[in-house]
Every structure is written in C-alpha cells, then in structure tokens.
Amino acid sequence: MIDFKGFPAKMRFTPIPNIVFSALLPQITDINELKVLLHIFEIVYPKKGKVRFVSNNELMCHAGLVSSIKGADGALTGVLEALVNKGVILHLAVEESETAESIYFFNSEANRLIIDQIRSGEITISGLKPGKRIPVTREEEPDDIFTLYEQNIGILTPLIADELREAEKEFPADWIRDAIKESVTQNKRSWRYIARILETWSTKGKDDGTYRGDYKKNTDPDKYIKGRYGHMVQR
C-alpha cells in the first residue's frame, strides 16, 4: 500500500508545459522515463539564468528516484538515453576537474543554440568544460503526429489521442502526417476527414503509388467504420 499522507495546505509547485500533456505523454509508455522526466522538471525549473540543465550527478543524488527505477545497474543512464533518443532532452558530455560528466538540457531551439555556444567556447560554465568526446548530434526529425495534429487541427482530446495511437498501428507515420496536411490543404480540419483519407489510401493507394500492403500492414480496410468510433466516420 502506498504510504501517502495527502497534500499539505502549503506546498511548492513545479511548472510543466502543456505540450508535455498533449504531445509527449501519449508517447511515453515506460514509467521509468516518466519518473526521470518529472524529476528533471523539478530540478531545472527553479534554476536561474538562461543556461539551465541537470547533471547526471544531480539525478543520482535523488535516492528515491534511483531506488524506484527498476532494472539492472546503470538503469538511470539507460532511461536518460531513451529520453535523448525520443528528442525530449539533449545530452552534452563535459569534464569536471578532469572527470567525465554528463549534463542534460530540455530539447528547445534556445538550448540547442546554447549547447553549440558551449562547444565553441562562447559560453562557459563554471567548473565545467566541453568533454573530448562530443556525442553525435541527433538528426532533426519531422513533428510527431500528436504535435502535428494539435498545431494544425485542434485540441488533442483523450479520444483523439487514442485514435492516433490506433492509426499508428495500422499506417506508416508519414501517411498520417500527409493525411493531416491534406486535411489542412482542403480546409477540413477534423479527425473524421483524416480517417477517411487514410481509409481511401488503404484501399486505392496513395498518389505516389504506395499501398498500405507495401508496409506489411494486414488489417481490415473497414477498421475505422467498424471500430469503437466508427460512428464518427462515414463513407
């Protein structure tokens, strides 16, 4: 049983951007990644100045976090690498008194510029300097379908998030992105229209000559008609 006494009358708060709830949480399925992400917010946001990051040592000092992460030795490092690979945080190898250290920034345009300036020497951090081993910069990836939907179609409700997750299982991500863009071009910004586009492409193929079968997707072409939300889609 969880030994939680409830929320006190007075307590501190940690701000979390709305995009975390709308675009990021639907993609995080590992509880350890969620735990580490929340601790990073807790550590980073109270810091002052434009260069705000969390070090591996800072996270290791949170005994409750480290002990709660299930896995083999080095589990924290593995979780951090997973968040880097997802594009949530950025990693910079540094040296502290000739000792290797890792620091992490939230992945934003401002922080990408700051990391470049640290590497070039334009910005210095007291006690730290860029490490000799610079990790390969993560290639820019297209927006995920959740972000693309919210930025171009409308609010990402739990129901729509479920539909997008189901669509990911049936169609290539670039098909879903293209369908969202097509709905914007036609000024028919709704999941119903996007689903109809995907249904049409699944049976007739896309204009570029590709078919869903090319991606080894063996699913019912009437999924969006027969499914739980079939009433939302009409032929």
75-131 pLDDT, tens digit per residue, is 888 899 999 999 999 999 887 666 778 899 999 999 999 999 888 888 888 767 665
User: From CA 38, how far away is CA 52, in angstroms rounded?
Assistant: 15
For the whole model, what pTM was predicted? 0.54
Distance CA 22, CA 94 (A): 33
For the chain, the first-to-last Cα distance in angstroms comes to 50
Q: Which is higher by pLDDT, 217 or 25?
A: 25
The Cα 48–Cα 70 span in angstroms is 32
Q: What is the mean pLDDT of residues 123-149?
A: 61
Q: Is 207 among the domain residues?
A: yes
Q: Are residues 109 and 176 in the same domain?
A: no
80 vs 145: which has the higher pLDDT = 80
Choose one of 90, 107, 130: the last residue of a domain: 130
Based on the fold, state whether residues 118 and 152 are members of the same structural domain: no
Q: Are residues 120 and 23 in the same domain?
A: yes
Residue 38 has pLDDT above 90, yes or no: yes
The answer to whether position 8 is within a domain reads no
Nearby residues of 109 by Cβ (< 8 Å), 6 or more positions away: none
Check whether residue 152 and residue 94 sit in a common domain: no
Q: What is the chain's mean pLDDT, rounded?
A: 79
194 with 171, same domain? yes
Mean pLDDT over 59-76 rounds to 76
| Per-residue DSSP letter, 231 | G
Residue 157 pLDDT greater than 60, yes or no: yes
Residue 83 confidence (pLDDT): 93
Last residue of a domain, one of 72, 99, 130: 130
> What local confidence, expressed as pLDDT, does residue 37 receive?
94
d(CA 48, CA 213): 53
Residue 139 inside a domain? The answer is: no
Give the tokens for residue 219: 């699913």
Element (H, E) at 182: helix 173-185
Residue 94 backbone phi and psi in degrees, to 5: -135, 175
Q: Please give the average per-residue pLDDT across 129-155, as a whole number.
A: 63
Q: Reduce the DSSP state of residue 127 to 3 states and report it.
A: coil
CA distances from 60 to 32, 47, 200, 221 (A): 14, 18, 51, 49
Identify residue 77 by its one-letter amino acid code: T
When mean pLDDT is compared across 103-107, 155-159, 163-167, 199-203, the lowest value belongs to 155-159
Domains identified in the chain, total number:
2
At 212, the pLDDT band (50, 70, 90 cuts) reads low
Does one domain contain both 76 and 158?
A: no
**What residues contact 71, with CB distance under 8 A and at least 6 apart?**
32, 78
Structural domain including 84 reads 18-130
Q: What pLDDT score was predicted for residue 211? A: 55
Work out the pLDDT band at 10, boundaries 50, 70, 90: confident
Averaged pLDDT, 209-224: 51
For 227, counting Cβ atoms within 10 Å of its Cβ (0-12 exposed, 13-18 middle, 19+ buried), the class is middle
Q: Is residue 79 a part of any domain in this protein?
A: yes
Q: Are 108 and 192 within one domain?
A: no
Task: Indicate if 33 and 122 belong to the same structural domain.
Answer: yes
